[in-house]
Amino acid sequence: MGVTRHSHIAAKGYLKAWTEDGVLGVGWVNREGPTRLPPSAVAVRSRFYLDQDADGSANDWFETQMGRVESKAIKALRQLETEWPIDASARATLSEFLGLQYLRSPAHRRWYVEAIQNATDDMRRGEGPDLTEDQIREVEATLATDRERHLSMAAKLPVAGTVFMNMHWTLLRCGSPRLATSDHPLVPVTVGQNQPVAAISPTGLTGIAEVRFAVSPRLLLLLTWRDEYDDEPILKMPHDLVRNHNTLVIAQAEEQWFYYPSRRAEHAKGGSWPSLVSQLPG
């Protein structure tokens, strides 16, 4: 049986919302490239979710599991505006999808490598389990395997999904297709001002103040810790907030960012972290 050797770090079904005549508008980070591409050709990494076994074989069990989450969520995303406010089942489905997008990214992989290094450094300083150097190296090697990384992501997914499920949800709507997205489409805004642009919160999930996720070029899902849980509205998205979101999602892009081809997304150079919820009407 074959395995998936070219993987999407952002779901292809999700990116289809930005297509016009079968292609997306594409912006590039630090290099030039085609400005129009189909969803199948963007946000792709070779062998990114494969488990490489010691005997040289490979399997894609994690890719298969992600596909099951995606297939349910894409349908819910496409119905989000017409079904709003969504029921608990759809909310759980989308929360799991948002958690998966947070964990499946290249940014999270870099965070995972740093976390292993920090943990083994602590062991060498005598903090934590009392292990010999050989034992520490064995732990380090095991944690660095594809299998352990994927198992760690699978274990964290319910936690991330629960955090997002319990936030306050607001749906922001544009009159025209003006919102951008990227190969790191989930934007976590951390507590405090002037935080660096990062697709993974440096303070962990509990340090996230709000989450932005462009559902389509016209819709943005905003998750916050507002207290008004009985009122989750659809609001018109002011032009300056569109520019605010586009600036950040483009700034944290790994390699590519995307826009509706006939409407170039407006944004500023660089990125800052002004809160969206503080600027909403009411």
Span 229-276, pLDDT tens digits: 567 889 999 898 999 999 999 999 999 999 999 998 898 776 555 677
pLDDT at 62 over 60: yes
Higher pLDDT, 186 or 60: 186
pLDDT at residue 1, rounded to an integer: 44
Q: Cβ distance 217 to 260 under 8 Å? A: yes
Q: Which of 256, 69, 249, 40 is nearest to 153 (CA)?
A: 69
pLDDT at 25 over 70: yes
Largest CA distance in the chain: 62
Handedness of CA 248, 106, 99, 111 (dihedral sign): negative
pLDDT at residue 58, rounded to an integer: 83
**Per residue in 151-172, pLDDT tens?**
999 999 999 999 999 999 999 9
Residue 227, helix vs strand vs coil: coil
Mean pLDDT of the chain: 90
**Per residue in 174-233, pLDDT tens?**
999 999 999 999 999 887 655 667 899 877 888 898 999 999 999 999 999 887 656 788
Report the pLDDT averaged over residues 106-133.
Answer: 92
Q: Which amino acid is at 75?
A: K
pLDDT at residue 192, rounded to an integer: 65
Distance, in Å, from the CA atom of 99 to the CA atom of 84, rounded to the nearest integer, reads 20
Q: Which of 193, 225, 187, 232 is nearest to 209 (CA)?
A: 225
